[in-house]
A and B are shown apart, each in its own frame.
Chain A
Amino acid sequence: MNRTDSTLRAILQDVLGLSAERVAAFDATTGLFGDLPELDSMAVAGLLTEIEDRLDIVIEDDEVDGELLENYGNLLSFLEDKIAQSQEE
């Protein structure tokens, strides 16, 4: 598990109030927005802001769409690409 993956799991654990074991069991197909009733728009906004803080990146408004938050895999690969980009710059 890379650093982005473990950080994202830690943030989801805080936001959803789940145990480390349950969050560790998330895989790429685990549904997020729409599947987890706790994740309403306010919680998603908190989640994204916390991700920005802990991973030191900026997520633009137009990057946030239904697909990004559809499942764990989409969100993780978006963040990994984002971090790779910021390291190239």
Chain B
Amino acid sequence: MIAAWPCPGPSGQCEEYALAFDRGRGHRVLIIPALFDEANRMRRMLVDTMRLLDAAGIDTFLPDLPGCNESPQSFTAQSLHGWRVAMEHAARHFRTTDVLAVRGGALVFPAMLPGWVLEPAKGPSILRQMLRARTIAAREVGQHEDSAALLEQGRSEGLELAGYRCGASLIAGLQDALPQIEGQRIISQAELGGGGLWLRAEPAAAPEQSAALARLIAADLSV
């Protein structure tokens, strides 16, 4: 279930982990998680999807982005470029044939693989929302923070957003990043039914959404 994969980091080669359903089958799908807190809110739904795909004869791999989950790397040292390189390494290591990128995962997925992109998110939208959460939290304790000034600070020295100590390169990267979709099928939330789990204030399972996503992937792979 838990597989390791070698990943280059700022301080040399290190070992990262992935949740894997690997039985050496022909279809091997790499799943690139959403970024930041959205990854937590969607993880249960994705893992349930992986179980269903396993039962349908499809291998799946959900790697940690370096600096996230079980990763030994520092979050502050990460950038979109670093994550993109890491995900290419994971794709090569697990010899994946297809990719499913979720939300902000579409900013860092290996676009050379065919597959699907679930509700791709733009870098500026992700950044704007986290800056807004920070200004709202500041206001709650009677302080005033200005988004534009925070962004400037973030670009030069890094910034803590939603509990993540983001380095300057990650902030600068998010500011302009757009999903690089090259022929992958875009899946909209409406195809899964229900509300988007990344919006949900608390993480939750969504068995119907997992089933719809697994069905859609299995049908496209015609297994």
Contacts and interface: CB of A to CB of B under 8 A. Distances in A.
Nearest to B140: A41
Interface residues of B, number: 24
A45 B130 CA distance: 7
B194 to A, nearest CB: 8
Interface residues of A, number: 23
A15 B201 contact: yes
Contacts of A40: 201
Contact of A42 (B128, B146, B147, B162): B162
B43 interface: no
Contact of A46 (B137, B140, B147, B199): B199
B147 to A, nearest CB: 5
Contacts, number: 60
A44 B162 CA distance: 12
B128 to A, nearest CB: 7
Given A13-B195, A64-B136, A49 B200 contact: no
Interface of B: 37, 125, 128-130, 132-137, 139-140, 146-147, 162, 195-196, 198-202, 204
21 contacts: A14-B196, A15-B200, A15-B201, A17-B200, A17-B201, A39-B201, A41-B133, A41-B137, A42-B133, A42-B162, A42-B201, A45-B133, A46-B199, A46-B201, A48-B132, A49-B128, A49-B129, A50-B199, A61-B132, A61-B147, A64-B132
A44 B199 CA distance: 10
Contacts of B196: 14
Nearest to B195: A14
A17 B195 contact: yes
The 9 A-B residue pairs with the shortest CB-CB distance in the complex, in nearest-first order: A14-B195, A45-B133, A43-B201, A38-B201, A41-B137, A45-B132, A41-B136, A42-B133, A49-B129
A46 B129 contact: yes
